[in-house]
Amino acid sequence: MNLILLGAPGAGKGTLAKKIVKDYHIPQVSTGDILRENIKNETPVGKLAKEFIDKGQLVPDEVVIELLKNRLSQDDCKKGFILDGFPRTIAQGKSLENIANIDGVILIDLPFNIIEERIVTRRVCSSCGEIYSTSSYDKNDCKKCGAPLYQRDDDKLETVRNRLEVYDRQTAPLINFYSDRVYRLDGSGSPEDVYARAKTFLDDLEAKSE
């Protein structure tokens, strides 16, 4: 099952992807995580990406497409994958058509005011990547592995507003691009509520793509 998670920054793509990984045994491929790993390791790609990410802008298509192509060529993606944060432009969507077939697209729907609140309260584990919110978990260490939590550099309110604007302009047109296979998922309620709604669609999709 080859799946895309579409949705504004903070809509809950990463949170949902982690639940799907566990039950459907396909990897989460997050271009945001790959770029942040490059930034941490101070690679040339990381240095270039940081300039765009810190301003809330998209990293150039050719850079991200190359990273994605490499990642999808790895063995663990042979049985399927969850794309989280890719594609983000029509050009990326068109390139993807030459790399893989996409079975389904989940669009996580959530009003921007709730999104802003969720992003500014987000904390991420520096080791395993688990995602938390200070509104439901107020400790500084990861519940799963004990490593310290951190706040992403691009999660400041000014940057968040820019990211939402970029989403509207550059990424939202993909909803039409995938109109024949997009499923609108209500992103409100708890992560468990959202996942329960997604599961109906996923079970159906899994049966069809076998």
Nearest residue (CB) to ligand AP5, 160 versus 205 = 160
Pairing status of strand 182-186 against strand 122-125:
unpaired
Closest CB to ligand AP5 among residues 154, 206: 154
Q: Which of the ranges 8-16, 70-78, 172-180, 199-207 carries the binding residues for Mg ion, by CB under 5 A? A: 8-16
Binding partner of residue 194 among ligand AP5, Mg ion, none, CB cut-off 5 to 8 Å per kind: ligand AP5
Please enumerate in sequence order all residues whose Cβ is within 8 A of that of 36, keeping only pairs 6 or more positions apart, or say none. 53, 152
Residue spans of beta strands (DSSP E) within 14-134: 28-30, 81-84, 104-109, 122-125, 131-133
Site for ligand AP5 in 43-72 (CB under 6 A): 52-53, 56-59, 64
Burial-class residue 80 by CB neighbours within 10 Å (0-12, 13-18, 19+). middle
> Minimum Å distance from CB 195 to Mg ion?
15
Please confirm, yes or no, whether 156 is among the known catalytic residues.
no
Sign of CA dihedral 66, 68, 72, 74: positive
Distance (Å, whole) CA 133 – CA 4: 24
CB atoms within 10 A of CB 32: 20
Is residue 14 at the binding interface for Mg ion, with CB under 5 A as the rule? yes
Q: 3-class SS at 69?
A: helix
Query: Considering the complex, what minimum distance in angstroms separates the CB of residue 180 from Mg ion?
Result: 25
Q: Contacting ligand AP5 (CB under 6 A), which of 1, 2, 19, 31?
A: 31
Catalytic residue among 18, 118, 122, 123: 122
The CA distance from 94 to 83, in Å, is: 15
User: Footprint of ligand AP5 on this chain (CB under 6 A)?
Assistant: 7, 9-15, 30-32, 35, 52-53, 56-59, 64, 85-86, 88, 92, 118-119, 121-122, 131-133, 154, 163, 189-191, 194
Q: Would you name the residues annotated as active-site residues?
A: 13, 88, 122, 152, 163
User: Footprint of Mg ion on this chain (CB under 5 A)?
Assistant: 14
